[in-house]
């Protein structure tokens, strides 16, 4: 069974993608934020991600209330936590120190997706017009003994991808607008996004 997927579809103003938005504690890029927020079906913050949301929505905060904020709450500012609590956002404290706030937030998200009734071979559509000109396949964590691709400038055919042997970085696309990847083990896909302000 093949998984078909357009990585940057979530950034398109049109389109029917159903997705959830998870905000972590890093500077938020204003360029795509409003569009992503608008189109997401579920929106969450992991701990200090709420600080970032609070800052970037100044002047109109009531229109940007997350469905829940989860974490061990050592990063979220207390006045910001109070603000969202008063506004009715669910606050879920997750104290387990064996996992990051990101991991725990994803677990909660998965539960909510199941509760609300909302995964080889891979085909990625890379023709939204928002792709920049680099991509890569990174065997983080484990070698991949058998990787085959099409649609890249430097394709692989039953290749080994392994740190110390071969890692695909600074790759790019051919003209087809579609990349297919077959891998025998987990493999990290990475790609660049056009900077809206520059393009």
Contact positions toward a copy of itself, by CB under 8 A? 100, 134-136, 138-143, 162-164, 167, 169-171, 186, 190, 192
Provide the minimum distance between the beta carbon of 162 and a copy of itself in the complex, in angstroms, as a whole number: 7
In this structure, the number of other CB atoms found within 10 A of the CB of residue 53 comes to 23
**What is the DSSP-derived secondary structure letter of residue 62?**
G
Q: Calculate ∠ Cα 9-14-16, nearest 5°.
A: 65
Measured between alpha carbons, how far is 102 from 34 in angstroms, rounded to an integer? 21
Distance of CA 193 to the CA centre of its chain: 12
Q: Between residues 158 and 170, which has the closer beta carbon with respect to a copy of itself? A: 170
Measured between alpha carbons, how far is 145 from 184 in angstroms, rounded to an integer? 7
Q: Which ranges of the chain would DSSP assign to H, the alpha helix?
A: 30-39, 49-56, 78-86, 101-115
**Tokens (6 digits) for 88:** 């009715």
Q: Between residues 14 and 26, which has the closer beta carbon with respect to a copy of itself? A: 26
Provide the minimum distance between the beta carbon of 132 and a copy of itself in the complex, in angstroms, as a whole number: 9
Provide the minimum distance between the beta carbon of 183 and a copy of itself in the complex, in angstroms, as a whole number: 15
Coil, strand, or helix at residue 89?
Answer: coil
Q: Between residues 136 and 177, which has the closer beta carbon with respect to a copy of itself? A: 136
Provide the minimum distance between the beta carbon of 47 and a copy of itself in the complex, in angstroms, as a whole number: 13
Q: Between residues 63 and 165, which has the closer beta carbon with respect to a copy of itself? A: 165
Q: Between residues 65 and 193, which has the closer beta carbon with respect to a copy of itself? A: 193
Provide the minimum distance between the beta carbon of 60 and a copy of itself in the complex, in angstroms, as a whole number: 32
């Amino acid at each position: 069974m093949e998984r078909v997927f357009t990585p940057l579809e979530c950034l398109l103003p049109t389109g029917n993608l159903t997705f959830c938005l998870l905000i972590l504690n890093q500077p938020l890029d204003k360029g795509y934020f409003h569009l992503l927020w608008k189109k997401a079906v579920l929106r969450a913050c992991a701990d200090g991600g709420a600080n970032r949301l609070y800052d970037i929505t100044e002047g109109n905060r009531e229109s940007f209330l997350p469905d829940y904020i989860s974490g061990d709450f050592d990063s979220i500012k207390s006045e910001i936590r109070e603000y969202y609590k008063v506004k009715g956002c669910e606050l879920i404290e997750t104290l387990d120190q064996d996992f990051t706030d990101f991991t725990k937030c994803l677990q909660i998200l998965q539960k909510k997706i199941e509760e609300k009734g909302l995964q080889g071979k891979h085909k990625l559509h890379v023709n939204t017009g928002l792709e920049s000109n680099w991509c890569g396949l990174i065997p983080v964590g484990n070698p991949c003994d058998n990787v085959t691709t099409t649609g890249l400038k430097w394709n692989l055919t039953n290749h080994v991808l392994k740190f110390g042997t071969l890692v695909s970085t600074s790759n790019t696309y051919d003209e087809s607008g579609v990349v297919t990847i077959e891998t025998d083990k987990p493999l990290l896909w990475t790609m660049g996004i056009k900077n809206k302000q520059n393009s």
